[in-house]
Every structure is written in C-alpha cells, then in structure tokens.
Amino acid sequence: MYDVFQTDRLIDLWLAEDIGYCDLTAQVMIEPHETGAFYMNAREPMIIAGIDVAARVFKRYDPYLDVQVRVQDGQRVEKGAVLIDVRGNARSVLTAERTALNILQRLCGIANETAKYVAAVAGSRARLIDTRKTTPGLRMLEKHAVACGGGLNHRLGLDNGVMIKDNHIAVCGGIRQAVARARRSLPVLTKLEVECDRLEQVNEALEAGVDVIMLDNMSLEAMTEAVQRVGGRTKLEASGGINLSTIGAIAATGVDYISTSKLNQAAVCVDIGLDEAE
C-alpha cells in the first residue's frame, strides 16, 4: 500500500542523508570498475516487510546493479534465509548497503511486533488495527508493515475519515452537536467515529448514529457493558494503554477492533546482514 513515486522521493532523501558528498571509504579503497556479488540474509527468524523497498534502494542509487529479490512481503523466514542477491559495481553496493538494511530491518521489526499482537487476540472477534503514531515520513511504509504482520490499518491520515475526539466535542457542546456538524458535509463514503471515555457518551454516540465508537481508556468492566449496550448496532474500538499483557482480556470483552501504537513504537529492528557471496 505504498506508491513507487513517493517511495523514490524518500529513498533519495535517505541516500542523501547517509552519503553526503561521497562514500569516502568506498572511494579510497575500491577501484571504480571493481565488481562484487553480495547477498542480504536474515540473521534471525522474521516476517518480511518492505523487501521491494530495500531492493529499490540499490537500483535507485545505481540502475545498473543486478538485484534479485528472493522472498516476498508477509512471508515468514527462518534464520539464514537469503532475502536479496545484488551484483555489480562494488562501490555502489557498499554505498547503498546501510540505507537498504535500515529500512528493511525497521519494517520487518514492525511486522514481527504486529504478529505477536495478532496472535494474542486469536480466537476472539477482535481485529487488530494501527494508529497514526508513526515515524514522520514513514507512515505508509510502516502501515504496510502492519498489514504484512496480519494487522489492519486505521486512518491513513487526517483526510481518511472523521474522528471526533474530546476536544472536538468540547468545542461543539456535545456529541450530538458534533456529529450533526460533521454530517452536514461528510463525503457519502466516509466513516465517522466518536471517541468516548464514559458509558453515557456511548449511549449518546449510538443515538447519533455513528459508524464506530472508540472506547478510550475504559476499564474491562466498562467495555463489557458497552458491548452489551450497543448489541452489534455499530462497531466498537478499544484504545488506550494497550500492550501485549492486556490485549487478550480486552479482546475477550467482545469489541470489534483494538488499536495500539505499540505496533510501531515498541517494535525492535530485526537483524539482517549483507555479506559477500562465496
């Protein structure tokens, strides 16, 4: 779910940041026409996310490199799996190496973390969704990584849906008034969600006919009560303070969605290396 044109713009920025004026090490140590064959390999088990982006880093820096992708996004691989083969000008490969590794390690880390949360809600009706708490500039790639790990995407950006939160409600004077204002000019295919932190607000949001009600930082007892009150008439999303130790009990309340920023913020980069082929 990312655009090649937009990704190329990011890659240019990443390469410029890392290289500066030149790769001094490669320039002083490697002859201009010297070639090499290398492979990118998994040094631990992982779920792949962003493999085509990593491959594109090499081709963006040097279109003459021969880059072969050996795996696909969403695939689980074991330690030692070959992810990418890259052959050609040795200077080019070694100059682009770190940028390619950095983005792939980050995105695979997010996919791994997402898979842990997906497993924690398995067997319940709840579906795991992400948030807008992403790394600036990397949102679409990080959301793609969540999808690779088995999660769903929430709003892609502020223009992707209407989310009425506490401050919007305060300005408008209440949930009913806020929803009425939003409905006046809401695009017909756009969903409307309201954040509620008290059960009485859930009743008001339900009466206003919203598409999704977010249960923000509610107790398990309150979420269970909200599920019973709503009775399937609209979707319920649990959010706020959710982690691997709490998500199972939250899923058991019967909510439809559970959103957490931990998919991005708690993700640890995986270990991937680039080695010369023998």
CA 123 – CA 227 distance, rounded (Å): 17
DSSP H or E segment with residue 19: helix 4-19
Q: Is 56 a catalytic residue?
A: no
The answer to whether residue 165 is catalytic is: yes
Catalytic residue among 43, 59, 70, 165: 165
Catalytic residue among 23, 216, 237, 256: 216
The confidence score (pLDDT) of residue 2 equals: 66
What DSSP assignment string belongs to 2-16? --HHHHHHHHHHHHH
**207 catalytically annotated:** no
- Specify whether 195 is catalytic: yes
- Residue 248 confidence (pLDDT): 97
Q: Would the CA dihedral through 114, 120, 123, 128 be positive or negative? A: negative
Tell me the torsion sign for CA atoms 199, 202, 207, 208. positive
Domain with CATH 3.90.1170.20 in the chain: 4-111+268-276
Architecture of the 118-265 domain: Alpha-Beta Barrel (3.20)
Closest CA to 97 of 277, 274, 234, 252: 274
Q: Residue 151: what residue type? A: G
What's residue 79's pLDDT? 98
> Start-end ranges of CATH 3.20.20.70 in the chain?
118-265
Residue 272 confidence (pLDDT): 98
Q: Count CB atoms within 10 A of the CB of residue 275.
A: 11
The active-site residue out of 97, 130, 195, 237 is 195
- Catalytic position from the list 98, 155, 229, 235: 98
Q: What is the CATH number of domain 4-111+268-276?
A: 3.90.1170.20
Q: Is 200 a catalytic residue?
A: no
Mean pLDDT by 10 residues, the chain (278 residues): 83 97 95 96 98 98 98 98 98 98 98 98 97 95 98 94 94 94 92 96 95 97 97 97 95 98 96 92
Please report where in the chains the tokens 């070694």 appear, as a residue: 94
DSSP letter string, 20-35: TT--HHHHHHS-TT-E
Q: Which of 59, 132, 133, 181 is catalytic?
A: 133
Residues counted in the chain: 278
